[in-house]
Amino acid sequence: MRFFNFIFPLFCFILLIPSIAKAQDLLTVQNVFFKSSQDNTAVVFVQIQGEPKFSYFRLDDGRIVLDIENSKIVKKGVIIPTSNSNIISEIHFAQNTPDMVRVVVGSDVKASYNISKVDGGILISVGSSKPLLSLANGITNEAPKLLPYNYIPEKGQLANSQNSQTNNNLYPPIKNAKIIVIDPGHGGSDPGCVANGVEEKVATLGVALHLKPILEKMGFKVIMTRETDKDVWGKPYNMPGYDANESELQARVNIANENGAALFVSIHFNA
Ligand SMILES: [Zn+2]
């Protein structure tokens, strides 16, 4: 399949990105603080050592999701506010991927909010579209000061994501996540092409398993046609001219079509 001679160099490029990210030091998310006011506003202050890059989005049910890039958390946790505050239900914070901390703030979908970079971390204000600096005052030793923040995440990075790694409770399924189907070529009884004892089916699965978490981190939902060394059987048709190989390839494509995939990536090496 000549098509994949073009696709493969793209994978090499994508696979390089995480190794660059890991070379940098991770920021430390030290703690998460909560404070509410009688006027139905609240703040969540995420205390961070270092200069954070972050992105955020809101789920249909009102939860506010903050992703802090290139960061590690000292201690994951949950804050459940006392009953006199009903604007925020729960606050969860945890390491979501090896180099990203996620904070999820449960809030009424109708409540406005603001996320700002402040001195010493990130301030999430709920019940206001402006940063509630005075409410945040005293949450830690010093009053948070507003800092300029112009970082625009790369396209696809505003993660409408579902992730199979740690803390599934922080990754609720999102209806609108774009689906990519990865198809590791061959498998099971079909080794694909064999050279120097290396079977194509092993190499394609290896690349696919590396690619999956990378795409998930970019915000895609990933479905694999196989995750182990097995055949992807087509339907056993009993008709004249039935071709087992053709049927198997069709079975793989069907997985993409049935899941409404935006992209179908079939991985092969020279066969
Ligand atoms: Zn092949």
Distance (Å) from CA 90 to ligand 1 centroid: 49
Backbone angles phi, psi at 137, to 5 degrees: -55, 125
Residue 174's pLDDT is 46
Q: Which residues contact 159 (CB under 8 A, 6 or more apart)?
A: 55, 57, 65, 67, 217, 218, 219
201 C-alpha to ligand 1 centroid (Å): 8
Q: How many CB atoms lie within 10 A of CB 267?
A: 22
SS (H, E, C) 155-203: CCCCCCCCCCCCCHHHCCCCCCCCEEEEEECCECCECCCEECCEEHHHH
pLDDT, tens digit, for every residue of 202-221?
Answer: 999 999 999 999 998 888 88
Q: How far is residue 258 CA from its own chain's centroid?
A: 23
Residue 79 CA, ligand 1 centroid: distance in Å: 51
126 alpha carbon – ligand 1 mean position (Å): 53
For residue 270, report the distance from its CA to the centre of ligand 1, in Å. Answer: 6
Rounded to the nearest angstrom, the distance between the alpha carbon of 19 and the centre of ligand 1 is 28
Distance 30 CA to ligand 1 centre (A): 48
**pLDDT at res. 242:** 59
Sign of the CA dihedral 17, 19, 214, 25?
A: negative
Distance 186 CA to ligand 1 centre (A): 6
Give the Å distance between the CA of 221 and the centre of ligand 1: 24
Taken in order of first residue, the domains within the chain and their CATH numbers are 22-136 (2.60.40.3500), 178-267 (3.40.630.40)
Q: What is the pLDDT at residue 113? A: 93
d(CA 232, ligand 1 centre) in Å: 13
Residue 56 Cα to ligand 1 midpoint, Å, equals 40
Predicted local distance difference test score (pLDDT) of residue 254: 87
CA distance 27 to 13: 25
Q: What is the pLDDT along the chain (271 residues), one digit of tens a residue?
A: 444 444 444 443 344 344 344 445 789 999 999 998 888 899 999 999 988 999 888 888 888 999 999 999 998 888 888 766 678 888 999 988 888 899 999 998 889 999 999 989 999 999 999 999 999 988 877 767 888 776 665 544 444 443 333 333 444 444 457 899 999 999 988 899 998 889 999 999 999 999 999 998 888 889 999 999 998 876 555 555 556 777 788 889 988 888 888 899 999 987 5
Dist. CA 247 → ligand 1 center (Å)? 15
Helix axes 3-23, 200-217, angle to 10 degrees: 50
Q: What share of the chain is helix, strand, coil (3-state, %, to 5)?
A: 25, 35, 45
- Rounded to the nearest integer, the mean pLDDT of the chain is 79
Number of C-beta neighbours around residue 91 at 10 A: 23
